[in-house]
Structure 1
Amino acid sequence: MNDASWGPPRATGYLQPSGRAHDAPAGPAHDPGNAAQTRPMPSTPPGPDARRPGPTPPARKRAGRNLPAAIGVGLGLGAVVLASLFVHKPVFVGVIAAAVVVGLWELCSRLAERKRIEVPLPPLLAGGAAMVVAGYLRGPAGAWVAMALTALAVLLWRMARPPENFLRDVTAGVFAAFYVPFLATFVALMLAAEDGPWRVFTFLLLTVVSDTGAYAVGWRLGRHKLAPRISPGKTREGLAGAVLFAMAAGAFCMELLIDDGTWWQGLLLGLGVAASATLGDLGESMIKRDLGIKDMGALLPGHGGIMDRLDSLLPTAPVVWLLLLAFVGSG
């Protein structure tokens, strides 16, 4: 999710063409091609009334994103996800694989642009898609085998180039394979259950509700910073909103949507989702600050890139899969 989504916007920072305010990334690196940095207006000669300061108008609190664009894109994505999820499971597996491929491309492109890290992209893209399919068809064992083969393919592919920065490029490739496709494979594992579509729906709904609760409460009531060195826009009040909203939604989903689920299990599930989604959000904020960028991409107006939508979902998927496995079994 976004740095500006948990608290009121600040007077300084970055403003992208879509209208979303973002915190200025740490460090001197800045790519003027990705975002326009806000600058003060040119100074003008003082007029005759320059020494007569007028009343300062109260600051207007505004959301830190282009809401019309964000809502429109979000509704469109939601329609595609729900249609593929409940119509035919293999179609949704394809949606997961496509999101993984685009997310990997965004991540590796930013690594190349900002850090000159040349990740072997072809084996990573092929292995990432295969990882999702293997997880759906063969379960956790299939996912682990596909992950190992992808790491091996990245290593072998990079050996065809000069040895300079070999360790750096391969390490980044293995990290990308774990961070994006391997974590996304847990969504395919949830889908493979008999009530898989409802498990995936619960996972998606709770993550969205957690982010919505953080946004709503943080925007209105946010005062105390949660992690100012990583994401100054996030507040403790926003985290409390995420927990409360996710726990309420979890109780509803486990009681009414999941076979053999109970409301108290939903409370624990919601708590786990709020915690993992927050950590995932902070984790990608850390990556973007290290890279000196605001967004991983610009594919989705009002949202950024695919990776900017997956930041909370990816680490939440294994948490939800594991808790559902403990509460109601594999299905």
Structure 2
Amino acid sequence: MPTSLSGSDSSPDSEKPKKKSAGRNLPAAIGVGIGLGVIIVASLFVYKPVFIGVIAIAVVVGLWELTSRLAERKDIRVPLVPLAVGGTAMVVAGYVRGAEGAWVAMALTALAVLVWRMTEAPENYLRDVTAGVFAAFYVPFLATFVALMLAAEADGPQRVLTFLLLTVVSDTGAYAVGWRFGKHKLAPRISPGKTREGLVGAVLFAMAAGALCMEFLIADGAWWQGLLLGLAVAASATLGDLGESMIKRDLGIKDMGTLLPGHGGIMDRLDSLLPTAPVVWLLFVIFVGAG
């Protein structure tokens, strides 16, 4: 008989070990990643205000994805208009007026969310505005720290480039090492694909890249500072990725959107960048000053 009574297949093909799958469309992911990289680098070094516009667009799209998923999966009605306007204002205020301007814009955005939601029925008011304030903090406020880095007169673009490179290198190191050598799960209930070996890869890759960036890109930077910076980036990027995984598991979705082929949505690319931005900004201030 070709099969047993239990229905198991003992054919030679079924006994062959399955190859590991990358889990996504790599050609599309690489193509989109290169395209985004070109846009970011070009806007970053050609004219700073253009890059502020890139941040603002990413913030608005990210807010749209987040609020759309909240409405679809949890029936949480977060007002997008005050979030989008306030989020853009946060990024611009952070670049023009510094951290103080960003905090003021954050407070006014939270107030606008509370007032805007008053135009609808009072049921679930507290739930909706709480989610709105969370969204304002999670997406635009954390993104504002990228604008604060860019505002440094001496080497603003280099600081932002270092931040982006270290986060990407950390994610790449975790993915490459975890895919090849990963055996021990890091947080199986949150993100089954992440492994301890992948975390080690993230740390090693980010520390090496940090040493090079601080030595050759940042004015008055030192290689040992880059080691600490890379370690901090690997930690914050991993926690950020796990944090969004928690959100997506709670919502019962795999990706926040489908805008970027091979990547998911904008929020699926911002997950490790957002919480890493304030960490990198703070370490730059400690190591080499605000600029």
Is TM more than 0.5 here?
yes
**Corresponding position: 1:53 with 2:10:** yes
Q: 1:297-329 CA distances to partner (integer Å, 9 max, x unpaired)? A: 000000000000000000000000000000000
* Structure-2 residue corresponding to 1:22: none
Q: Could you say what the CA RMSD is over the residues aligned between the two structures, in angstroms?
A: 0.8
> Alignment partner for residue 151 of structure 1, among 86, 103, 110?
110
* Alpha-carbon distance in 2 for matches of 1:256, 1:121: 42
How do 1:1-331 residues align onto structure 2 when only pairs under 5 Å count?
48-51=1-4, 53-55=10-12, 56-194=15-153, 195-331=155-291
* Alpha-carbon distance in 2 for matches of 1:161, 1:234: 42
* Alpha-carbon distance in 2 for matches of 1:241, 1:53: 38
Range that drifts further, 258-267 or 61-70: 61-70
* Structure-2 residue corresponding to 1:24: none
* Alpha-carbon distance in 1 for matches of 2:57, 2:171: 23
May I ask how many residue pairs the two structures share in their alignment?
A: 284
Tell me the SS of whatever aligns to 2:193: strand
Q: CA deviation at 1:209?
A: 0.2
Q: 1:8-30 CA distances to partner (integer Å, 9 max, x unpaired)? A: xxxxxxxxxxxxxxxxxxxxxxx
AA partner of residue 222 (structure 1): G
Q: 1:171-226 CA distances to partner (integer Å, 9 max, x unpaired)? A: 00000000000000000000000210000000000000000000110000000000
* Alpha-carbon distance in 2 for matches of 1:50, 1:172: 54
Tell me the SS of whatever aligns to 1:181: helix
Q: 1:259-281 CA distances to partner (integer Å, 9 max, x unpaired)? A: 00000000000000000000000
Q: CA deviation at 1:62?
A: 1.9
Q: CA deviation at 1:54?
A: 2.8
Q: CA deviation at 1:64?
A: 1.4
Q: CA deviation at 1:50?
A: 2.1
AA partner of residue 230 (structure 1): I
Q: CA deviation at 1:65?
A: 1.2
AA partner of residue 107 (structure 2): A
Tell me the SS of whatever aligns to 1:60: coil
Aligned residues with identical type, % of pairs: 82
Q: CA deviation at 1:161?
A: 1.0
AA partner of residue 208 (structure 1): V
Looking at secondary structure, tell me which structure has more helix per residue. 2
Tell me the SS of whatever aligns to 1:233: strand
AA partner of residue 36 (structure 2): L
Q: Output the TM-score relative to the length of structure 2.
A: 0.97
AA partner of residue 149 (structure 2): M
Q: 1:216-273 CA distances to partner (integer Å, 9 max, x unpaired)? A: 1000000000001100110000000000000000000000000000000000000000
Q: CA deviation at 1:49?
A: 2.2
Tell me the SS of whatever aligns to 1:302: coil
Q: Which runs of 4+ in 1 moved over 3 A?
A: none
Structure 1: where are the runs of 5+ without partners? Answer: 1-47
Tell me the SS of whatever aligns to 1:232: strand
Structure 2: where are the runs of 5+ without partners? Answer: none
* Alpha-carbon distance in 2 for matches of 1:77, 1:136: 22
* Alpha-carbon distance in 1 for matches of 2:169, 2:82: 35
* Alpha-carbon distance in 1 for matches of 2:228, 2:197: 20
* Structure-2 residue corresponding to 1:39: none
Tell me the SS of whatever aligns to 1:226: strand
* Alpha-carbon distance in 1 for matches of 2:251, 2:10: 42
